[in-house]
Each structure stands twice: as structure tokens, then as C-alpha cells.
Amino acid sequence: MKGIKNRKISALIAEFPFLTSFFNDNGLDIENKEELTLTEYFAGFDEDEIEDRAIDPENLIFQISEFIKQMIAFLGKEDDIVKTVTILPGRDKSGDNEKFDELVIRQGEIICIVGPTGSGKSRLLGDIEWVAQGDTPTGRSILINDSVPDNKWRFSSADKLVAQLSQNMNFVMDLSVYEFVELHAESRMVENRKQVIEKIIDKANSLAGESFTPETPITSLSGGQSRALMIADTAILSKSPIILIDEIENAGIDRKKALSLLLSEDKIVLMATHDPVLALMGDRRIVIKNGGIYRVIETTDEERTILSTLEGMDKILLAYRTKLRQGEIITKIAYT
């Protein structure tokens, strides 16, 4: 990283808070010296101290630069944020060409994937996750930000393009909800960890049909509570720019709030679903047939009107579910 030796330590720490750990780990006391540049700071060591502690200023400045680069890569703070993912056509299971020119998916969009069981939805996801370059059975190619992507999206365990939220989630660790989220937050080396953990748990409770506390053991969470926690955790802590949700309709959570949360964190949401409410919430839906993309449908104004009707019906179903959970007698609920 160029130019850091002439930057003030305070400015570097403000931009890269994790640098404090480098100074501490290397026994470099910067208290009351934050307004010095790195060059000025190391110039303040006398010759005896440099010799006794084997301090090499040039080498340490180089190490600081490398440390910043490595931490930026680990924490996912690169400038090359994924703004678009482009799918270029390949072939279906019969070898016929897919019927589209290109499909550009933008940050902040909800794209639904629909089609019969076994139609090839997983193949499409696999191509996106692997960042295919015509080297998968479908022959599709994937571009990131309109360009052939960096190999990091294919081979780096730290840089995953897609985070998947599967339909079935079972926790086996003997941890509380707070401890579980704290473990993930620590692995991401997030700042303001306590506030982030509290935000995740609060958002999860806003999604779940039944609330839970930070002290609740994760092994005792219901399916809906587990799904809500993982959606909030993924939205706020995951580096992956694309989130795939499989069959969210069976999760027992507030689906609209879940999608709003993911979009508020600048994710691209791909959602495999058979639920018309969710399908019409999306900006577009990809229709899969015989292993290929058969059609891409933009949600129409008429469909948005139908969605309003379906959401009203959905609220009634949710109200009936709540009554059942609470052991109440089912009575007629007025449709609005």
C-alpha cells in the first residue's frame, strides 16, 4: 500500500481500526504519538533502542502495509464491490440454447427462481456460485461488474460470492443465541461488536413468529426462530454479496421484513420459491425448464395489484396461525 509512511497514525487508525492490534502485538507504544506520521514515529527511536529491540523501521512500515492489505481482503472491504452479476446463456439438458441474450442482476434486486422440482434451479445456482466460465455442464458464463471475474470468487474460502440459507437448519452447538452470534462477529473482527450482536438479535425477533432472548440456547430454537436468526446474521455479517434463500415460505417468519432487511444491507437476493406472494415480491423471476433458463419475466403492474390481494389473504392465514399457536378458538377474521 503506497504512501502510508507519510500519513499520520491517527488517520491510519481511523481508516483501519484493526491497526491498533498490530501496534500492540509488536510492542509499539503509540500513546500520545498518534499525530505523528509513521516516518516521524520511527525516527523518534534512538539508536540504542533500535539495536536492543532489533527495530527495522522500513521493514515494519512494509509489514504494516501488508497487514492492511491482508485484513482488507479478509474483512471484505475491497473497493470492487459487486454491483452486478451477469448470466450469459448456455444450454438446457437437451443441448438446446437458452432463450435469452444476457441476464443482468443488480445490487438491491430480488430475483425469484421458479420451476418444477428437478428442473435445474440448483444448476443455475451452482453456475453463479462457481462463477462459471463456460466450464460447467450448462455452458453458461458469469460476469461480475460486466467483466470476467477475479479467481478469488472461485478459489478463496474467504471470498464467497453466494451465501445460502437452506430450508432445514439444525444447530448442534451448546451455545446461547448471544454466544453464537458473538462467535461469528469475532470471526469477522467487527467493530462495535456488542451493538452489532444486539442489532442481529433484535432484527431476528422482528422476523420470528415467537420472540427469544439472547440467553436462549440455540438448540432450543424453533425452525422459524432459527431461520430468522440466520437471515439476520447473514444480512448483517456475511461478506457474500448474493444471498440465496430456498423455500422461505415454509420458514414461519415475516417474509416481507426478511427481504427488506436483506435489501437494506445492499445484497442481491436470489429466491427459489413456489409461493406466489414471494414470486410477485421479486423484481423479476427466472423460469427454469429442462435444466435451462426458459424465460425471464418482469413483474407487471397487474401482478403488483394481484400481490396486494394475496398479501391480504396472507395476513389472514398468519392471524389464524397465531391463534392456533396461542391455543385460541378459531373465529372468522374479516378480510381487508
Taking alpha carbons only, the member of 82, 78, 6 closest to residue 39 is 6
**182 and 243 housed in the same domain:** yes
Which of 236, 170, 174 lies closest to 202, judged by CA?
236
Residues 33 and 136 in one domain: no
Q: Are residues 218 and 177 in the same domain?
A: yes
What is the average pLDDT score of the chain? 84
136 and 260, same domain (yes or no): yes
pLDDT digits (tens, 9 = 90+) for 238-264: 888 888 887 665 556 777 888 888 888
Q: Is the pTM above the cut of 0.75?
A: no
Per residue in 114-157, pLDDT (tens digit) is 998 888 888 898 899 889 999 999 999 999 999 998 877 777 66
Q: For residues 83 and 69, what is the distance between their CA atoms, to the nearest angstrom? A: 22
**Tens of pLDDT, residues 260-301:** 888 887 888 898 888 888 889 889 999 999 999 999 999 999
d(CA 207, CA 309): 22
Residues 183 and 134 in one domain: yes
Q: Are residues 89 and 214 in the same domain?
A: yes
Total residues belonging to the chain: 336
177-230 tens-digit pLDDT? 999 999 888 877 777 889 999 999 999 999 887 889 999 999 898 888 888 898
Domain total in the chain: 3
Are 256 and 315 in a shared domain?
no
Phi/psi at 88 (5° precision)? -100, 140
DSSP label at residue 275 = -
For residue 231, what is the domain's CATH number? 3.40.50.300
The share of the chain scoring above pLDDT 70, in percent, equals 91
The last residue of one of the domains, among 75, 101, 124, is 75
Q: Where are the alpha helices (DSSP H) in the chain?
A: 9-15, 19-25, 38-43, 47-52, 57-75, 121-130, 152-155, 177-187, 193-207, 223-237, 255-264, 276-281, 301-325
Round the CA-based radius of gyration of the chain to a whole number and report it.
Answer: 25
Together in a domain, 166 and 312: no
Per-residue confidence (pLDDT) for residue 75, from 0 to 100: 61
pLDDT of residue 79: 46
Residue 58 in 3-state DSSP? helix
| Main-chain dihedrals φ then ψ at residue 213, nearest 5 degrees | -105, 165
pLDDT tens sequence across 79-88: 457 889 999 9
Whether 133 and 270 map to the same domain: the answer is yes
Cell of 188: 469477522
Task: List, in order, residues 6 or more apart from 66 with CB less than 8 Å away.
Answer: none
Query: For residues 124 and 141, what is the distance between their CA atoms, to the nearest angstrom?
Result: 11
Q: State which residues form the domain around 60.
A: 4-75
Could you write out the three-class secondary structure of 93-136?
CCCCECCCCCEEEECCCEEEEECCCCCCHHHHHHHHHHCCECCC
Looking up cell 432450543 gives: 220
Please state, in angstroms and rounded to a whole number, the distance separating the CA atoms of residues 30 and 44: 11
Same domain, 295 and 311: no
Q: What is the mean pLDDT of residues 85-94?
A: 95
Contact indicator for 268, 243 with CB cutoff of 8 Å? yes
Contacts of 110 (CB under 8 A, 6+ apart): 259, 263, 269, 271, 281, 282, 283
The pLDDT of residue 57: 80
Q: Are residues 219 and 278 in the same domain?
A: yes
Query: 81 vs 1, which has greater pLDDT?
Result: 81
* Segment 6-20 mean pLDDT: 85
Domain end, chosen from 42, 75, 108, is at 75
pLDDT for 186: 84
Are 272 and 243 in contact by the 8 Å Cβ rule? The answer is no
Instruction: Round to whole Å and give the CA distance between 189 and 18.
Output: 8
Q: What is the pLDDT of residues 16-73, one digit of tens each?
A: 888 888 888 888 888 888 898 888 888 888 787 777 777 788 888 888 888 887 777 6
Q: Which of 20, 47, 75 is the last residue of a domain?
A: 75
Closest CA to 291 of 186, 103, 83, 139: 139
Domain check: are 145 and 275 in the same one?
Answer: yes
